[in-house]
Structure 1
Amino acid sequence: MSDDPWLWEPADETAGQVAAALEEIGRRAGPGSFEELRAQVRRLARGQGRLRRLLDAVVAMSADMDTRALLQHIVDAGTDLVAARYGALGVLGEDGDFTDLITAGVDAEQLKAESGLPQSHGLLGSLIADRRPLRVDDVAADPRSVGFPEGHPVMRTLLGVPLTVRGTVYGNLYLADKEDGTPFRDDDEALLTALASAAGVSIENARLYERLKGATEQFQRRMLPVLPDLAPLRVEARYEPASELPRLGGDWYDATLLPDGAVFVVVGDVTGHDVEAAPLMGQIRNMLRALAFDRCGPPGLVVDRLDRALAMYGEPTAATLVAARIEHEPGTGYTVRWTNAGHPPPLLVTADGTVDVLAPEQHGIPVGVDPALPRPDHSVALPWASTLLLFTDGLIERRGQDIDAGLRQLAARAAALATAPLHALCDALITRQDAYDDDVALLAVRVPAAPEGGRGPAQEGQPGS
């Protein structure tokens, strides 16, 4: 339905009744009275339409947990609600000076480059000091005005309201020059004040959300190990939390040198994303490391012992993982032996850019499901200067995309960076610029280059199981 009662569609029965009633009143009361009534109804309908847009803006703000995006939403909503040409939100620091500027109707970055941030004096200073709405019909004639800096659009009228968060002025929301050229009115001020009041709550929620997300990420990272020096092997790891939700995840990685000289590596993912997932991840990681030290045997045997240990828990505990032993035979080279418990397959990237997906037909189910089922082991020679990549499913999963497509994309990216420094390879494969639907853990192990005159897996080894 249109906001204008004279544009209501005939199919709207209520609108038709209102229009008919107004026509009847007009015939009885005369032309002057009818026009006045018509104007009142028009204003009422316009006010109801603006109220609906205000409520829509408040609902949208409450769902936005990114502070910067929220501030832009507030400026855009205020400009739209009041039909202003220009809008701005100046964020204040603890000293009362402006620290940031978000705009509508004018390019914020260009404005800051040419004019700098707003100054806390003049009309804006009055708004900061009074903490009350400010309405000016002629900016140039106001005695508090100090003019506009070079490069700033010249504005004639101004409406500003403070944004407060927990009793402290967070910033100022101000609009300039209505599109119809009229001064700002009482109802414009009331509408913007209502928006600012709701915005203060949304800003506080967004700040709390970001603090929670930061604390959650810090807790998760502190539970992950510091990787040891495993020279001549090189090892790098990365962890990235889910992009949207501040949740504790169960993704982890580990790498350690075993008593028999082999290197044990694992990447895993505990089922669930709640307050219990991260501590449980730590328990499983520590149990697996202890079993690997104790047994020094094939990864399948180690994970089988983990399965049996988890069966002693009162509640079911499930996790996917890839556990591997990297062994070195002098004069021969390196071999990896691994077992897969329902996890995405590792990738083997050779120095020439070839990528093998280590996904034999026979693989195991997640740990903690059925300890009676066997844990198959597989092995493959690691060519000189090759890189073994283990990762959790968050790296290759995207909404609306098949996980196999994500795996192919990852393989292509890794192939293009086959000879890049290991830290650069990891940085390129997992970055904060990507949006992750789930936590991501990545572990990369690089085999040294071939010794001079030596033969090794680069010439002899072929994948096997």
Structure 2
Amino acid sequence: MAAGEGASGPERDLRWRPDTQLEEIAAQLQELSRVKDRMQGLLDAVLSISRELELSEVLHRIVTTAMELVGARYGALGVLHRSGRSLEQFITAGLSDEERARLAGIDFPRGRGVLGHLIHHPEPLRVENIAAHPSSVGFPPGHPRMGTLLGVAVSVRGKIYGDLYLSERHDGRPFDREDEAVIVSLAAAAGIAIENARLYGSVRDSAEHFQRLLLPTLSDLSPFQGAAVYRPAADPGRLGGDWYDAILLPDNVCAAVIGDVLGHDLLAAAAMAQTRNMLRALLYDRRTPPSGIFRQLDDTLDAITDLPITTACLARIEAQGTGYRVHWSSAGHVAPLVVHPDGRTEYLDAEPGLPLGVDPGQHRPDHVRVLPAGSTLVLFTDGLVEHPSHSIDYGLDRLAELAGARPGLPLEDLVRTLIDNHPGEGHDDMAVLAVRTPSPGAGPDRVG
């Protein structure tokens, strides 16, 4: 018999125990690694959700992130109605195009059945067979087959905001306690992300509302036509310094101005309002050319306010012979765009002068250009054309193409089209002001 053959009892245990222990240690290390990876995945998921600021994006990201964490094929987030008794919104993920097509025309769940159970009993819920659950009421026609469910409530400031639902693990197994623990942790972070997104939206809406209150509603400019549009910066709380105004003066001249105060805070917004109001008073009081108005405005603001640097462009549009002329001056502002009735476009490029608030004593140039009847003068702020990935000339060319393709478009539609399709980055606030001279049939004698 070979050496070692027939070994038994304690002698054999001593020989095999090290191998067994090594296997156990390896299994434990593997489990620790798996847990570590899952915790890292949870941390990454929390960071991913927290980066989103738009509420709609946050809600969708919560669903898709939860699906990834537990390997679920389907996911949904039901947002509760204020009453807390039903769902008013249902965000889904995981459905194929074919599955969505089969559900076309079927309203989203309102909170009955197993989904309703979680609404009224917000403790975490794991179901291995949805059809066998006492609260089950079945699925609507065309709904994909779902057997398992993991449901967790999402709270915001201690109040149930909605419920997160997951169904069908890819590996075919039911959801377990570990899945539940991970999703409960995610739901806690989701509540914070939702609250942040709601605060973001509230701040953004308040800033936009405040900004719009400071901007005028254009008065009747007849026989000229006028329209303006403003869009705030994408970042919340960034009060813009963009402003505009257009008025018909007592001498039947249409005055149009647009400007941009440096900064994005309350000081910039207040300075914008001061500048616009003071400029309107000067326009009514004086018949001097635009350069003279700017000089007086610069002197006055320098004497009585601490005005941030401001760019602006002021134009007077008046009848001349059978057409019109525009008399303008620029304080460091981007050149205005003229759209001719036949769609030709040109920028009124000329010496821009210094911005307001730099040196009130400096000479300010004036410029004059004849405009045919039916022409449109477009004044805008640089946020409309500036983009870090291309030159400002590229943005100006794209804007001119956009405006020239629609020469006869009603002004309200034109300014909306320009701001909706602008070539700029969109992270700065934007303003567009357009004034159209009377058509040839109207006759300039109606103006002056």
Do the structures match in fold with TM over 0.5? Answer: yes
Pairwise CA distance, 1:28: 7.4
Aligned position for 1:56:
44
Please give the per-residue CA displacement for 1:211-242, whole angstroms capped at 9, x wherever unaligned: 11111111111111111111111111111112
Q: How does 1:23-38 map to 2 (within 5 A)?
A: 29-38=17-26
Comparing 37-46 with 195-204, greater Cα deviation is found at 37-46
What's the C-alpha RMSD, in Å, of the aligned pairs?
2.1
Q: Which SS does the other structure have where 1:113 is aligned?
A: coil
Equivalent residue in structure 2 for 1:213, among 199, 204, 217: 204
- Where 1:320 maps in the other structure, the secondary structure is strand
Q: Could you tell me which amino acid in structure 2 is paired with residue 373 of structure 1?
A: Q
1:424 maps to which residue?
413
- C-alpha distance in 2, partners of 1:112/1:93? 23
Paired residue total: 428
Mapping 1:41-120, distance limit 5 Å: 41-95=29-83, 96-107=85-96, 110=101, 113-120=104-111
Q: What is aligned with 1:334? A: 324
Corresponding residue number in structure 1 for 2:7: none
Q: Distance in 1 between matches of 2:16 and 2:275?
A: 85
63-72 or 423-432: bigger deviation: 423-432
Q: CA deviation at 1:112?
A: 5.5
Equivalent of 2:362 in 373, 386, 403: 373
CA displacement, residues 5-60 of structure 1 (integer Å, 9 cap, x when unaligned): xxxxxxxxxxxxxxxxxxxxx98734443333322222211111111111111112
Corresponding residue for residue 8 of structure 1: none
Task: Look up the equivalent residue of 1:418 and give its one-letter code.
Answer: P
- Is 1:403 the equivalent of 2:400? no
Q: Using the alignment, how far apart are the partners of 2:246 and 2:444 within structure 1?
A: 27
Contact 1:345 1:359 in 2 (8 A): yes
Taking a change above 3 Å as real, the CA distance of residues 408 and 98 of structure 1, as seen in their structure-2 partners, is same
SS in 1 for 2:29: helix
Task: Describe the shift of the 1:245–1:163 C-alpha distance in structure 2 as closer, same or farther (beyond 3 A).
Answer: same
Alpha-carbon displacement from aligned partner over 1:376-406 (angstroms, at most 9, x marks no partner): 0000011111100000011111232211111
CA deviation profile, 1:49-92 (whole Å, cap 9, x unmatched):
11111111111211211011111110111000111111111111
What SS class does the counterpart of residue 100 from structure 1 fall into? strand
Matched, 1:322 2:305: no
User: 2:190 aligns to what?
Assistant: 199
How far apart, CA to CA, are the structure 1 residues paired with 2:168 and 2:24?
28
Supply the distance in 2 between the matched residues of 1:388 and 1:333 (Cα, whole angstroms): 14
Cα distance in 2 for partners of 1:127, 1:381 equals 71
Q: Is the 8 A contact 2:200 2:236 kept in 1?
A: no
Structure 1 distance, partners of 2:286, 2:103, is: 64
* Aligned counterpart, 1:17: none
Where structure 2 has 5 or more consecutive residues not aligned to the other structure, the ranges are 1-13
Q: Structure 1 residue 415: deviation in Å?
A: 0.5
SS in structure 2 of the partner of residue 312 of structure 1: helix
Partner amino acid, structure 2, of 1:36: E
Structure 1 SS opposite 2:420: coil
SS of 2:131 mapped into structure 1: coil
Deviation at 1:318, TM superposition (A): 0.9
- Counterpart pick for 1:357 among 347, 357, 360: 347
Q: CA deviation at 1:151?
A: 1.3
Tell me by how many angstroms 1:431 deviates.
Answer: 2.2
Q: Does the CA-based 8 Å contact 2:72-2:166 persist in structure 1? A: yes
For normalisation by structure 2, the TM-score amounts to 0.91
For residue 168 of structure 2, what is the amino acid of its counterpart? D
What displacement does 1:320 show?
A: 0.3
CA distance in 1, matches of 2:437, 2:361: 35
Matched AA of 1:118: P
- Determine whether 1:165 maps to 2:156: yes
2:431 to 429, 437, 441: 441
Aligned equivalents of 2:24, 2:106: Cα separation in 1: 47
8 Å contact 1:345–1:358 — kept in the other structure?
A: yes
Name 1:345's counterpart in structure 2. Answer: 335
In structure 2, give the amino acid aligned to 1:285: R
Question: Which deviates more from structure 2 when the two are superposed, residues 228-237 or residues 288-297?
Answer: 288-297
Seq. identity, %: 47
Contact 1:65 1:205 in 2 (8 A): yes
Give TM-score scaled by structure 1 length: 0.87
1:30–1:138 CA distance, 2 compared to 1 (3 A): farther
Q: Are 1:271 and 2:262 an aligned pair?
A: yes
| Aligned: 1:311 with 2:302 | yes
Structure 2 residue aligned with 1:299: 290
Is 2:27 aligned against 1:39? Answer: yes
Question: 2 CA distance for matches of 1:62 and 1:280?
Answer: 35
The C-alpha deviation readout for 1:130-166, integer Å capped at 9, x for no partner, is: 1110011222222232222211111121111001112
- Among 158, 161, 184, the residue aligned to 2:175: 184
Q: Which residue of 1 aligns with 2:8?
A: none
Quote the Cα distance in structure 2 between the aligned partners of 1:27 and 1:229. 101
Label 1:341 to 1:45 Cα distance change in 2 as closer, same or farther (>3 A).
same
Q: Contact 1:115–1:152 at 8 Å: present in 2 too?
A: no
Q: Distance in 1 between matches of 2:80 and 2:254?
A: 53
Residue type matched to 1:355 in 2?
T
Q: Which residue of 2 aligns with 1:238?
A: 229
Contact 1:258/1:293 (8 A) holds in 2: yes
Residue by residue over 1:411-449, the C-alpha shift from the partner in whole angstroms, topping out at 9 and shown as x without a partner, is 001100011222221121112898612111111011111
